[in-house]
A and B are shown apart, each in its own frame.
Chain A
Amino acid sequence: MPFNAENHSPLKPVFFMILLVLLDGDRHGYGIVKDIEDRTDGSMRLEPGNLYRYIKKLMELEYVTETDDRHAPDAEDERRRYYAITALGREVMAREAARMKALAAAAQSKLRRRGSRA
């Protein structure tokens, strides 16, 4: 099925956050959860149940894939699966970032104009 990135824009905030974390490098589930908590000061908290539903969805969309590389090998990590962002996922993120940047710019310019009038 030919993919059209426009169909998936705007991304759900939680998808955006997961992809954002994965742009830093491959993560296992707990890593994703922790990084998101850090970035949002704990306001976005994922539990295993919903995290893996989102990951499943992102994998169906082919934005995310499982990876076999072990980046920080230790005993416990052997049982963990790692997730990586795909090329398609990067493209979607690029478009999303551009869209958000344009929106942010528009908002800022309006806010500035109003500020100068005041």
Chain B
Amino acid sequence: MSGRTKADRACDRYRALLRVFPPEFQHRFGRSAVELFRDRYREAAAHGPAAVMWLWGRTVVNVAIHGGLERTATAWKRLLRMRTGMWGDVRAALAGARRAPGFATAAIGCLALGIAASGAVLTLFASAILRPLPFPDAERLVRIWSEDPGRELRGELSYPDVQDLQQSVTTLDRLAATARARQYLLSVDGARRVEGEAVTPEYFELLGIRPYMGRLFVRDDFAGDAAATMLLSYGTWNAYFDADPDIIGSVVNTADRDYTVIGVLPAGFYGTIEEDIPDLEFWVPIAHELTANQMVRRDIAGIWTLGRLAPGVTLEQAASEVRAIGARLAQAFPDTRGPYELRIEPMGANWREGLRQQNYLLLIAAGLLLAVATANVAGLLMTRTFDRRRELALRAALGAGRARIVRQVFIETLLLTVVGAAVGLGLAPGILRAFLRIAPEEVPLYVSMSPDVTALLLAAGVVTVAALVATAAPAAVGLRVSPGHVLRGGGRGATSARNERRAGAVLVGAEVALSTVVIVFGGLLLRSYQSMTSADLGFRSAGILMMAIFPTERDVPEAQDLPAFNERLRATVLAEPGVEAVGLIWPAPPPSFGIQTRIFFDRMPDDVREHGLGVDIRGADPSFFPVMEIPLRAGRNIEDGDRQGEAPVVVVSESVAQLMGGAEAAVGQTIETRFAPLRIIGVVADVVFTGPVDRRPRDLDIYLPLSQIPERIVSMVIRTAGDPNRFIAPLRERLVRLAPNSPLDWVSSINTELADRLEGRMFYVVLLGAFAWSALMLTAVGIFAVLANQVARRSGEFGVRRALGAGQTRIIIDVMRRGILVSGAGLLIGAVGALVTGRLLRSAIAQIDSFDLVAFGGGAAVIIAVTLVASYLPAARAARVAPVEALRSE
């Protein structure tokens, strides 16, 4: 036979195909397989070219599938076989960590910080938003709200509404009504304000709460002539009644009435009030707490509802029934209340909604921090693996398989991450507790917080996987180069050095980019916080003390005597030396909400014509505007002559006047309210009465003369010479003499109060600040580690250059340039990322400008400063390399 046949050539090709199989397999069966293929080929050739094509098609598929399966099986078997040497590897890894303690500490620290911080934030998210509320079958608990058509605002219900609902609703098993109850506990130390919850008989059964001791309310406690009964919280029973085991049956005196204690509620029960999150101390039957008006009038809201879906009923079914009942009520009582709809939603939806947005922000920040930590650990480990290429190559040359070496590196990494994760898990509860100490006020007390194991494990898992990939990849790739090459080149081959530099640059660049985003986020939050603290509220707050007094019937028996009492009050306060002026305001001084109502006037704007314009009502005396330095825009101020019996008048804010044709035009016009028509006598400047945190889009306020609306709450704004807080004690003394049975409350300087309101916002600022700081530190470590490593590697080169006369500055600049370039690229990418994601912030936080030059510029400056420091240190070390020293090591 001369030359090679077609069959020979086909077999050559087939032999090439067989490379898909593992080498052992090729070695053992390759020749037989080729011969078998030769037989097949001959058979096919006899049938013509189509059969040959068909044979090739089948063969390629067959080889691909079975070659792949065989490789997988071989790899798996090898892994199982290797189990034996595992302990040796672990011991070697521990020895390695002892040899390089700095590296091990840095890696473990980064891991622990990333895991702990992101785990704690995930926990906050999980407990507040994802986990069910801590009541039995909590997912069946619902609340019913009233809602103005077209406005997405939840409103409370009136007591008669709730009663109608209770009677007609069938899709709810039970429906309870609750309201805030405030009392002034009287004791020898004076009156202490306590917050409580007034409830209907179904309340405790609905929530599945049993008493710690004593009994819960029974129907008889709600009868009109029943003695006033009270349940105490476990905390109050401990703190104020010394956990007295004989507390049941004892009497508690308050400013209003005397209550008999019938029971103590279990520890960890905090009630269901979700507004301002007061620390509730007592529970009382609702029937005795509501005023006669509240019991019967449908235009006075303030009742919260709590329901439990009947078995088998879906939320949608309940929603449609409740909506229908609401429509019927709105139709039956059209005059007593603006049109409204009833809406049902799961309990907790109201506060979770607001919290969710802010928590997303935190989650993003925590994710970024985790990414920075991961990139850092990956960078450290990768550098180290590159460092060890010589050792690995030596081992490869000595006959260790690639798999074996990758496994060794793998185990080392795994050990580091396990220790890091353990430290992180240990830190997490502490970090979480620190979070909660400054936690947002939006989370009701009934939500219990404990570290979420799933969340922490998730964070640990992400870091571990990333670390393993970061080490295994260079180990595997590094070994592709023949051991001899690496050993000859001393691990400093041009290609490998470039690869390593590139990998280091990518990691550091990514870290800088991520840190930039976190830092800019922190900066933006800080700026929004700043803008709130420095916002012009339109009134004077410096040097003003506020105080509220609740004149009881023991001190002022008749309501008609209240204006006269107010005069005595003013005189008493003014008599204190250092008090310059005093103004009176009902119900509360700023920052606070007024009483919300709707007004009508001629030529109403279209959007409010149907339902009226929503405004805040307050009562003021003639001194209020002057003391607060709120300027008059038109007309006149409230005067002493505007008293009861005279025509009812009103002063409106500028924003209201704008809607009526301007300040001048508004004076003299009449506004209709649900209680009386009011003639406008004056227009005052807009003020942010609610304070910057709760600021509304428009400052729509109206002020009635206090003398025309006598109420048993009156607040004072007192302008003092010097620190207002110094006047608290002497004024208290004077007021106790004036009205011994009337509690004082809300005693504070206005500036203190404003600062307190801002504290909730501080939570996010502090948290993001901490994240930004951590990210920055991690980045600094990353830049330093990568550059220091390169410097150590190139010390020979620096030595030569020094010997050839290169100045220290030249070398410093050369090393730093690298760090600055990489960091600059990362900074640019990060800034773009921050711009894009900044929109998220804007939706979560009011008063934020997603492109704030100060925040961006400040962030960039910080990154640049850190880059300079982190790259100067290794550069200085490079410059110090003594020429002789380096040459010797070469």
Contacts and interface: CB of A to CB of B under 8 A. Distances in A.
Given A47-B58, A52-B25, A80 B32 contact: yes
B66 A30 contact: no
Interface centre among A29, A47, A56, A81 (most CB of B within 10 A): A47
B659 interface: no
Interface string B8-48: 00000010001001000100110111111101100000000
B80 to A, nearest CB: 14
A30 B32 CA distance: 9
A23 interface: no
A79 B38 CA distance: 12
Interface in A49-71: 49-53, 55-56
Interface string A58-92: 00000000000000000010011100000000000
A76 B66 CA distance: 27
Contacts of A52: 25, 29, 32-33
A48 interface: yes
B70 interface: yes
B36 A53 contact: no
Contact of A29 (B33, B67, B69): B33
Contact of A48 (B33, B65, B70): B33
Contacts of B669: none
B882 interface: no
B62 interface: yes
A49 B32 contact: no
B25 A33 contact: no
Contacts of A81: 31-32
B25 A48 contact: no
A48 B40 CA distance: 9
Contacts of A33: 36
| Chain A interface, >50% SS class | helix
Contact of B25 (A28, A56, A79): A56
Contacts of A49: 18, 21, 33, 59, 62-63, 65-67
Interface centre among B29, B31, B32, B39 (most CB of A within 10 A): B32
Nearest to B21: A49
| Chain B interface, >50% SS class | helix
Contacts of A79: 31, 35
A64 to B, nearest CB: 13
Contact of A47 (B28, B62, B69, B70): B62
Given A47-B58, A56-B29, A29 B63 contact: no
Contacts of A29: 32-33, 35-36
A42 to B, nearest CB: 12
A82 to B, nearest CB: 10
Interface string B63-78: 1011101100000000
A80 B33 CA distance: 9
Contacts of B70: 53
A80 B32 CA distance: 6
Interface in B681-713: none
Interface residues of B, number: 24
B33 A56 contact: no
Nearest to A54: B66
Interface centre among B25, B36, B63 (most CB of A within 10 A): B36
Contacts of A80: 32, 35
A52 to B, nearest CB: 4
A48 to B, nearest CB: 4
A76 B29 CA distance: 17
B28 A51 contact: no
A102 to B, nearest CB: 33
Contacts of B29: 52, 55-56
A102 B713 CA distance: 98
Nearest to B34: A48
A49 B15 CA distance: 11
Interface in B269-297: none
B38 to A, nearest CB: 9
A56 B29 CA distance: 9
Given A48-B37, A53-B70, A56-B25, A28 B32 contact: yes
A81 to B, nearest CB: 5
A30 B35 CA distance: 8
Interface string B58-102: 110011011101100000000000000000000000000000000
B413 to A, nearest CB: 34
Contacts of B33: 29, 48-49, 51-52
A49 B63 CA distance: 5
Contacts of B31: 79, 81
B16 to A, nearest CB: 14
B25 A50 contact: no
A47 B59 contact: yes
A104 to B, nearest CB: 32
Given A47-B59, A48-B37, A48-B40, A53 B66 contact: yes
Contacts of A55: 29
Contacts of A28: 32, 35
A30 B36 contact: yes
Interface in B497-524: none
Given A56-B28, A79-B31, A51 B69 contact: no
A67 B518 CA distance: 71
A76 B65 CA distance: 29
Nearest to B29: A52
Contacts of B59: 47-49
A47 B21 CA distance: 14
Interface string B787-800: 00000000000000
Contacts of A51: 33, 36
Interface centre among A30, A49, A52 (most CB of B within 10 A): A49
A28 B38 CA distance: 13
Contacts of B36: 29-30, 33, 48, 51
A33 B40 CA distance: 10
Nearest to A29: B36
A33 B63 CA distance: 16
A30 B39 CA distance: 7
B42 to A, nearest CB: 10
A47 B65 CA distance: 12
Contacts of B21: 49
A30 B41 CA distance: 12
A81 B21 CA distance: 19
Nearest to B39: A30
Interface string A21-42: 0000000111001000000000
Contacts of A30: 35-36, 39-40
A56 B73 CA distance: 12
A33 B62 CA distance: 15
Nearest to A82: B32
A30 B43 CA distance: 11
B405 to A, nearest CB: 27
Interface centre among B21, B39, B67 (most CB of A within 10 A): B39
A74 B45 CA distance: 22
A55 B29 CA distance: 9
B23 to A, nearest CB: 14
Contacts of B58: 47
Contacts of B62: 47-50
Contacts of A76: 35
Contacts of A50: 62, 65-66
Given A50-B62, A52-B29, A53-B66, 18 more contacts: A29-B35, A29-B36, A30-B35, A30-B36, A33-B36, A47-B63, A48-B33, A48-B37, A48-B40, A49-B59, A49-B62, A50-B65, A50-B66, A53-B69, A56-B28, A80-B32, A80-B35, A81-B31
19 contacts: A29-B36, A47-B40, A47-B58, A47-B62, A48-B14, A48-B33, A48-B34, A48-B40, A48-B59, A48-B62, A49-B63, A49-B65, A49-B66, A49-B67, A50-B65, A50-B66, A51-B36, A56-B28, A80-B35
Interface of A: 28-30, 33, 47-53, 55-56, 76, 79-81
List 6 A-B pairs, minimum CB-CB distance, nearest first.
A52-B29, A48-B33, A47-B62, A49-B66, A29-B36, A48-B36
